A and B are shown apart, each in its own frame.
Chain A
Amino acid sequence: MSAPVLVLVETGAGGVTEVSLETLTFARGFGEPVHAVVVGALPEEVVVQLGAYGVAGIHHVTGAAFDAYGAAAWAAGVQAAAVEAGTVVAAGTPRGMEVLAHLAARLGVAMAANAVGIAANDPLTVQRQVLGGAVLEETRMPDRPAVLTVAGHAVEAQPAAEPSTPAVRRHEPEIPAADLVARVVSTEPAEPDRSGALTSARVVVGAGRGAGSATGFDGVVELAALLDGALGVSRVVTSLGWRPHHEQVGQTGSRISPEVYIPCGISGAIQHWAGCASSKTIVAINTDPDAPMVTKAGYAVIGDMAEVVPAINAEIRRRRG
C-alpha cells in the first residue's frame, strides 16, 4: 500500500477553514490516499466535510495537552499521527507553518514553505513561492516524510469527485513537559475591525502613497463603507504612520482575496502584489498609466485618487437617491 498524504486541518466556527480545504484539494494531487489530522475538538460536521473532500482516514489528536495552543505540543500530536505518512501537508497559515516547522525539526527532515505545485513526483520536486511570490523556486524533497505547506489560494478548494466515509482514529499521545513550555497563556479577543475583517472582505479599497498624507484617506474610507468593504493600505502608508499596521496588505501584512480590489494611488511593488494577487477583479486608480498596479489590473482609471474617489462616492450616493 502506498504511503498516505497527511493533511493538518485547521478548523474554525464554520468547520474546516477555506485554506485547509484548498490544502486538501492540493494533497489529492499527489495521487495517494489523503488522511487528515485534527488536533482538539472534532465536531461531526468536520468529519462530513472531510469526507466530501475525499479524506480516507482522520487522525483525531486529543488530550489535556491541547487545551491551549502550543506549536511544539501540536507538532508532537501530528507526529503521532504521521507514522505511516509519506508526506505531511498544512496550509501556509501562521499555525500551519509553525507546527510543520516544529515537525520537520523533530523528524530531522526538510520543510518547503508555500508550495504552489508539484513539479515532479519521483523524486518529489515542489514549486514554491519565494520573495513573497515574485519568484518561484523548484525544490527537491528527498526526505520522508516530505513536509510542506501550501500557499494560500494556490489552488481552488474542490470537493472530491467521490466522497468518502473517513474512518476516525483517536490518538492521545503523552506530551513531554518540554513541549508544553511555550503555549498560549491568555487570549484577548480581537477588536472586530482588525485585520480579520480585511482578509474576509468581499471588497477591499486600497490606498497608497497617492493618499498624500494622513488626512488623505476620507474618500477611500467612505468608498469602503459604501461598498460594505474594508480599507487596506500599502506598506509605505503604515511606515509613514498614516494608518495602523493591521490595515497593511502585502508580504509583511495581510494577504487578501476579495471579489473586487480597488487600489488607489498604489504603484504595485512586488511586496504589495504578494498580498493582493489573489483578488478576483482589480480596479486600479492611479495617475501613472504605466504603474505595475495599473498594467496588472483588469480595469483602471487614470487620475488622482483625491478627485476620482469622491466622484465615485458621489455617483454611488446619487444612484441610491
Chain B
Amino acid sequence: MTSVLVCVKRVPDVGGEVALTADAQGVDARHVGFTVSAHESCAVELAVRVAGAGGGAATVLTLGAADAVEQLRSALGVGCTAATLVEADAGAFGPADVAREIAAVVRAHEAQGRGHDLILLGNDAADSGDFQVGIRLAYELGRPVVNGVKTVEVSDGMVTARGDGPDGVETFRVPPPAVVTVLEGGVEPRYPTITGRMKAKKTAVEILAPRQAPAGPGRVRLTLPPAQPSHVEILGHGPEAAPAVVDLLHSLGVAR
C-alpha cells in the first residue's frame, strides 16, 4: 500500500499576451482561465498510477485561494481520492513558506495515521518558476529527494525514479518516504471520465489554514520585457516565396 501526496498550484492559463495587475504584483487573470503546470499534470498521473499499482491512495494538495478547489477537483476526477486545500493568498508565500506549509500538512496527516510514503511535485511552477519547493520540502521533512524525473514507481520497498541527465537516462533508487519532483514527458496524463467527475464533485475537500505567517517571496514588482516592435520582412506568399527563402538561408550560411 503506497500513500502518495501530489502537490499542484493553480496558475493563470496564459497563452498569448500577458497583462499585469495595476500594482505590478501579479498577472492580470481576469480574462484567462486557470490550470496547473504540465509538469504537475504528469505528477498527478504518476501519483494515480503509483497508488493504483500498490493498492494505495493518492491525495492532492494545493496552497491557494478558495478557487483553487477547481484544480483539486480536476485531480480528483482522474483518480486522486482525497484533497487538501491550504487556503491562503499564494502570491504572499515564497517557496520556503510553501514548503513549510506542505510539511505541516504531511505531519498532520501522519499524526492521523495516514502518512505519505511518496510526495510528488512538479519540477517548477509555471508562474513563479522557483525550482525549489520540492527540495525545501525534503529538507523540512528530512527525506531524500529526487528532482526532475519523468517516471517513478514503487516496488520491493524502494522508490525508483528515472529522468534525463546530461549523459543519458539516469536512474535513482531511494527508500520511502521520499520526495520526487516531476518533469513533463514521461507519461500521458489521462482525461477524467464521467464517473470520475461525479466522484470528484462528491469528495469532501479538507480545508486548512496556514500554520504560520509567510516571510513572502521577495518580489519587488513584475515588469513585462520591453515590447519589440515588429521588424518582420515578408519574403513572400505561398510556394512562390521558396527562392527568396533559399537565398536567405544561403546568406545566413546554413544552406549548402
Residues on A lying within 8 angstroms of B by beta carbon are 10, 12, 69, 71-72, 94-95, 97-98, 101-102, 104-106, 110-114, 119, 125, 127-142, 149, 178, 181-190, 194-195, 202-203, 226-229, 235, 238, 241, 245-246, 248, 251-253, 259-260, 269-271, 281, 283-284, 289, 292, 294-304, 307-308, 310-312, 314-316, 319-320
Contact = CB atoms under 8 A, between A and B. Distances in A.
Nearest to B228: A296
Given A131-B18, A307-B239, A185 B222 contact: no
A181 B244 CA distance: 58
Given A138-B221, A304-B238, A315-B242, A281 B252 contact: yes
B207 interface: no
Name which of A131, A248, A298, A314 has the most chain B CB atoms within 10 A of its CB.
Answer: A131
Interface string B156-188: 000000001111111111110010000111001
A28 B148 CA distance: 30
B96 interface: yes
B15 interface: yes
A311 B239 contact: yes
Given A136-B222, A138-B219, A307-B239, A299 B15 contact: no
B14 interface: yes
A271 B135 contact: no
B55 interface: no
Interface in B184-243: 184-185, 188, 217-225, 228, 230-243
A301 B235 contact: yes
Contact of B185 (A97, A131, A248, A271): A248
A12 B139 contact: no
Contacts of A311: 239-242
Tell me what chain A mostly uses at the interface: helix, strand, loop, or mixed: mixed
A302 B237 contact: yes
B101 to A, nearest CB: 15
Nearest to A245: B185
A313 to B, nearest CB: 8
Given A98-B147, A294-B232, 6 more contacts: A71-B145, A106-B139, A229-B254, A238-B185, A283-B245, A299-B232
Contacts of B241: 301, 303, 308, 311
B246 interface: yes
B92 interface: no
A205 to B, nearest CB: 11
Tell me what chain B mostly uses at the interface: helix, strand, loop, or mixed: mixed
Contacts of A316: 246, 249, 255
Nearest to A141: B218
B238 A308 contact: yes
Nearest to B26: A135
Contact of A110 (B94, B138, B148, B231): B94
B224 A202 contact: no
A135 B222 contact: yes
B56 interface: no
Nearest to A131: B127
A29 B236 CA distance: 43
A95 B170 CA distance: 13
Given A137-B219, A187-B167, A189-B167, A269 B16 contact: yes
B254 A202 contact: yes
A139 B129 contact: no
